[in-house]
Amino acid sequence: MTDQLPSPTPATTLETEPFWEAAADGRFVLPRCNACDEVIWYPRLFCPSCGSNDVSWFEASGNGTVYSFTVVERGQGGWREHSPYVLAYIELAEGPRMLTNVIDVDPDTVAIDMPVTVRFDAGKDGGNIVRFGPAS
């Protein structure tokens, strides 16, 4: 069970800053289009569904399920010593899918449709990295 993965502090942009600021506070937020109600991932200043630039942020549930995953047996660079670890697409309860890690679980027990919930790992220079672990 690998739960000490590298946690570099993310580089933020104007589009991602609200997400990372909330994560630093232990909150999971997502952008939503106010015109069509589409929940958006990856953060951007416009809706990829309808083209509206009327986008706002909301407190999301932090719940989801494993949509797809792989167990990385031979990581590269600074990740090598943390192998094996799980890289997964999480289908969020709000709809979009997010690429992240599944932590706090034996990689051999991760499965498609496994319920997961958000976890926050402290970044090296402050802030938090968003990952997911088994829902309890």
> What is the domain partition of the chain in residue ranges?
17-134
Kindly report, residue by residue over 93-119, the tens digit of the pLDDT.
999 999 999 999 999 999 999 999 999
Q: Which long-range contacts (CB under 8 A, 24 or more apart) does 107-114 make?
A: 107/1, 107/2, 107/71, 108/71, 110/66, 110/69, 110/71, 110/86, 111/66, 112/66, 112/67, 112/68, 112/69, 113/65, 113/66, 114/65, 114/66
Amino acid 25: pLDDT:
93
Closest CA to 90 of 53, 34, 132, 31: 132
Backbone angles phi, psi at 109, to 5 degrees: -100, -5
Number of other residues whose CB lies within 10 A of the CB of residue 64: 26
Measured in residues, the chain has a length of: 136
This prediction has a pTM of 0.90
Torsion of CA 126, 123, 95, 2, to 10 degrees: -160
Amino acid 125: pLDDT:
67
Amino acid 77: pLDDT:
79
Q: Can you list the residues of the chain whose pLDDT is less than 50?
A: 1-3
Amino acid 2: pLDDT:
42
C-alpha 103/C-alpha 87 separation (Å) is 9
